[in-house]
Amino acid sequence: MPSFLRGLITPVAPPYDALEWERAPFPERCRQVCQAWAVQGYGSPLSVTFVYALKAALFIAAWWGFCSASFPASEVSRWWLEPLAFQKAILWSLCFESLGFGCGSGPLTGRYLPPVGGFLYFLRPGTTKRPLFAVLGHRRTVLDVLLYAALQVSLLRALLAPSIDASLLWPVLGLLLILGVLDRTLFLAARAEHYLTTIACFLFAGNWIAGAKAVQLALWFWAGVSKLNHHFPSVVGVMVSNSPVLRFPFIRKRMYRAYPDDLRPSMLAVRMAHLGTLLELSVPVVLGLSSGGVGTVVGMALMFGLHGFITSSVPMGVPIEWNVTVVYGAIFLFFAHADVSVFAVGAPMLVVLAVMLIGVPLLGNFVPRWVSFLFSMRYYAGNWANSVWLFRGDSRKKLAKLTTSAPWPMEQLRKLYDKPIAVALLGKVIAFRLMHLHGRALQSLLPKAVDRVEDYEWADGELVAGYALGWNFGEGHLHDEGLLQAVQAQCGFEEGELRVIFLESQPLFGDALAYRIADAKSGERARGSVPIAPLRELQPWPVN
């Protein structure tokens, strides 16, 4: 095979023998895999980046196709900033995400073959779900499947219509709200905090463009607020180390204080984090206060810089199409319609938006366990709820009792690569968790959960959620005690076979991370909090 082709399809090999690494003591495994991440990132082959770029291009092409039902296909320059084109962009984005093709798809979310979960799970009775109320059960019913299918039909009907009116939007709004009660996974996968709120503006706002502006301003503002802590510098390092654009080792090493022995964020990473936070807060302020002219041009330039960096980094979770929609929305809302004031939304909808865009994010920032990080709009901040599932011996094989549409990630990888490559790639998931500031907390929590961590298989909660639920995107509340109870009901782990560490995100102006430790059979074993300040002095790996 030609070397250039091998480089396209073969992951980057770590600087250690993966099978020997697998047998090493846990602290040594952590050190080696974190040092490898610092210069290699996840190590995906170049073809992965090309596939994600192609998928984004097809996403845009499909929107163009749906708009062709309303406008001459060849005259895109005339209609791409028309209100109807924006409405179809929102509806198509919701459809795309709820099918599982957007956030949480592909290899950078632990999904290889098949590369999507989404509709493969949501259309299959018996798969695990996360209802709003436990009485609704934890397994998907035929009714769940039919309602989900009806949502997709309603979206397709609206997308193919020559014009959009309330009769086409009401079914989408109503069905997604019902499905949100039946399964939080699906509701979050649809990115309802953005798209459903905007559709509500289409229906109820006096001037829906004003309402859509308010939604987009909130996305930027709260994303900026979420970075007002010590987590974000670690995110910058993790992203740069995995960036397909910044592939130069000397740049990646500069993200850390003294590679390879000190992988705390360097002053460069800290300054980049502060600059990114300032940029993300500046975009909504400048665009929100501008009504055209120089202010709007400056705001648009800042916006392109912000989303250009995020998209080119191809971050884990790959919210590429969501970023495309946000950029398009910025052009339509704040450039083409710079003169529309946010306050033109109308009194009734203004109250609703105040709750959804101010009240809910505030609650989620101060009491993060109560609200999804998506509805709190705490994007890219590194301050996420998370979990680590520890399976004793080979007990993880009991997960095969779950009804799923995909095998465990290791089994997916073995269809593509030999065992050393598969072990090396999944090992990098451990590094991803440990390299973030919250990962340092696990050093003190692992001994509280199990006596000897080498006797257990480490599985990040994101992989468990992706396997069990069909979707994962950094939402730690999807793989909390509720999922553990649903898994236990179907798999029947014995005492000590499955221990889980649940770590909550840091509240705004808080100084600690709350945690719980549970056994699948006997329930909660411990709870408490880990102060943030000492974590900043630790390396990503345990040091005896």
The pLDDT tens digits for 185-218 are 999 999 999 999 999 999 999 999 999 999 999 9
> Is beta strand 523-531 parallel, antiparallel or unpaired with respect to 512-519?
antiparallel
Residues 443 and 459: their CA atoms lie apart, in Å, by: 16
Torsion 207-212-215-221 (CA) sign:
negative
Tens of pLDDT, residue by residue over 247-290, are: 889 999 999 999 999 999 999 999 999 999 999 999 999 999 99
Residue type, 281: L
Whether residue 24 contacts residue 32, with contact meaning beta carbons closer than 8 Å, is answered with yes
Give the pLDDT of residue 7.
Answer: 54
pLDDT of residue 5: 47
Residue-wise pLDDT tens digits, 155-173? 999 999 999 999 999 999 9
Look at residue 73 and tell me if it is in a domain: no
Residue range 478-501: mean pLDDT, rounded: 97
Helical ranges in 142-260 per DSSP H? 142-160, 166-182, 184-189, 195-204, 208-225, 232-242, 249-253
Give how many domains the chain has, as a whole number: 1
Secondary structure class of 500 (helix, strand, coil): strand
Domain-located, residue 474:
yes
Domain membership of residue 319 (yes or no) is no
pLDDT of residue 1: 46
Residue type, 290: S
Indicate whether 490 belongs to any domain. Answer: yes
| Average confidence score pLDDT of the chain | 95
Is the pLDDT at 324 greater than 80, yes or no? yes
Query: What are the φ and ψ backbone dihedral angles of 139, each rounded to 5 degrees?
Result: -125, 140
Residue 426's pLDDT band, with cuts at 50, 70 and 90, is: very high
Asked if the structure places residue 92 within a domain, the reply is no
262: β partners: 258
Contact 320, 55 (CB under 8 A): yes
Phi, psi of 494 (to 5 degrees): -85, 165
Whole-angstrom distance, CA of residue 229 vs CA of residue 226? 7
Which residue, among 530, 395, 520, 425, has the nearest Cα to 44 in the 3D structure?
425
pTM of the model: 0.95
The HSE-up count of residue 148 (CA atoms within 13 Å, CB side) is 29
> Is 13 within the bounds of a domain?
no
On whether residue 446 sits in a domain, the answer given is: yes
**Domain span including residue 478:** 386-535
Nearest Cα residue to 16 out of 34, 36, 37, 42: 36
Helix (H, G, I), strand (E, B) or coil at 523: strand
CA 424 – CA 500 distance, rounded (Å): 23
The reply to whether 206 falls in a domain is: no
Write out the two tokens for 128: 């695990």
The reported pLDDT for the residue numbered 334 is 97
By percentage, how much of the chain surpasses pLDDT 90? 91
Question: Is residue 15 reached through a cis peptide bond, with omega within 30 degrees of 0 on the bond before it?
Answer: no
pLDDT grade for 483, boundaries at 50, 70 and 90: very high
Categorize the per-residue pLDDT at 231 as very low, low, confident or very high, splitting at 50, 70 and 90.
very high
Give CA–CA dist 477/364, Å, rounded. Answer: 12
Q: Which two tokens stand for residue 130?
A: 């996360």
Summary count for the chain: helices (H), strands (E): 25, 7
Contact predicate 360/374, CB 8 Å: no
